[in-house]
């Protein structure tokens, strides 16, 4: 545990990325269904997670196991036409791409990629696979991706499930450094993805 903490601390320091600590983090207890992303999306965790106080966007929420630079599970709850995945980082000069109600399954990873390239400075971002999947009973898409953030140079991997339901985007993504953390967290992340329940249209 101490060793793991040490590794976490060292990595965090190396990455020089501070966790925004504006709002308090909260413990997510296992086996209890909770509403996420200020929406009617319900998920159940199979182990303890920490809910981060800082949200990526108004209708989004992130959880972590060891700290958000080491593993991050994010929920986006019912983004409507014209919404952005993240809060705008520079609306005037670098606006984020907008959700469109008529997006096809393949448009979701494209929107995701563009948003990361802009908001996360992920000039090296690739969508590695896209396949059909169901999310909360809705027919949607599962995609995997890999990326690095500029100025950080850590190889990261991610996996997400998403669907357009009634013109709204629902999405859950898990990402972590390729080295150790992705494999360590993906099983629990997939279990949470499988537990999701979406509101009826």
Partner 1 sequence: MRRITSFARRALLATTLVATAAAGQTAPPIPAWGGALQPQDRDERGLWMMSSDDEAVLKDSRFLITDKPLNDYVRGVLCRTVGAERCGAVRLYIMRVPAFNASMSPNGMMQLWSGALLRMRTEAELAAVLGHEFAHYERRHSLAGFKQARAATDAAIWASFIPIAGLALSLGALQGFFLYNQAQEKEADLNGFSFVMQGGYRTGAFADVWERLIAEEDAGRVARGQKARGGRRSGFFATHPASAERMTYLRALARQAGDTADASTASHRAGLGPWYARFLDDQLKLNDFGGTEWLLADFARTEGWTGALLAARGDLYRLRGQAGDMAQAAGFYREALAKGHDDPETRRGLGLALLRQGQQAEGQAMLKAYLDLRPDANDAAMLRMMAGLPPKTATGPTT
Beta strands in the chain (DSSP E): 26-28, 33-36, 41-44, 49-51, 60-64, 72-79, 124-135, 138-148, 156-165, 168-177
- What is the rounded CA–CA span in Å between residue 194 and residue 134? 9
Task: Select the span of 32-40, 63-71, 148-156, 177-185 touching partner 1 (CB under 8 A).
Answer: 148-156
- Please report how close the Cβ of residue 150 comes to partner 1 at its closest, in angstroms: 6
13 binds partner 1 (CB under 8 A): no
- What is the rounded CA–CA span in Å between residue 167 and residue 174? 23
- Please report how close the Cβ of residue 100 comes to partner 1 at its closest, in angstroms: 5
- Please report how close the Cβ of residue 39 comes to partner 1 at its closest, in angstroms: 23
Site track for partner 1 across 62-101, x = CB under 8 A: ----------------------------x-xxxxxxx-x-
- What is the rounded CA–CA span in Å between residue 132 and residue 117? 24
14 binds partner 1 (CB under 8 A): no
Residue 157 CB partners (closer than 8 Å, separation 6+):
144, 145, 146, 175, 176, 177, 178, 182
- What is the rounded CA–CA span in Å between residue 95 and residue 195? 33
51 binds partner 1 (CB under 8 A): no
- Please report how close the Cβ of residue 176 comes to partner 1 at its closest, in angstroms: 16
Sites of contact with partner 1 (CB under 8 A): 90, 92-98, 100, 102-107, 110, 113-114, 117-118, 121, 123-124, 127-134, 141-142, 148, 150-151, 153, 155
């Amino acid at each position: 545990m101490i060793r793991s903490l040490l590794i976490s601390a060292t990595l965090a320091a190396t990455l020089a990325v501070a966790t925004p600590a504006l709002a308090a983090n909260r413990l997510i207890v296992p086996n209890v269904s909770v509403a996420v992303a200020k929406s009617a999306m319900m998920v159940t965790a199979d182990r303890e997670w920490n809910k981060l106080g800082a949200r990526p966007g108004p209708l989004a929420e992130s959880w972590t196991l060891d700290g958000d630079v080491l593993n991050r599970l994010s929920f986006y709850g019912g983004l409507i036409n014209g919404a952005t995945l993240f809060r705008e980082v520079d609306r005037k000069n670098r606006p984020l791409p907008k959700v469109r109600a008529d997006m096809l399954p393949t448009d979701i990873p494209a929107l995701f990629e563009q948003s990361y390239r802009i908001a996360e400075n992920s000039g090296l971002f690739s969508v590695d696979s896209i396949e059909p999947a169901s999310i909360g009973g809705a027919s949607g898409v599962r995609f995997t991706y890999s990326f690095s953030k500029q100025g950080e140079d850590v190889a990261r991997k991610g996996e997400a499930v998403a669907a357009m339901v009634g013109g709204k985007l629902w999405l859950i993504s898990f990402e972590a450094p390729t080295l150790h953390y992705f494999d360590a967290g993906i099983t629990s992340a997939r279990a949470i993805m499988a537990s999701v329940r979406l509101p009826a249209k």
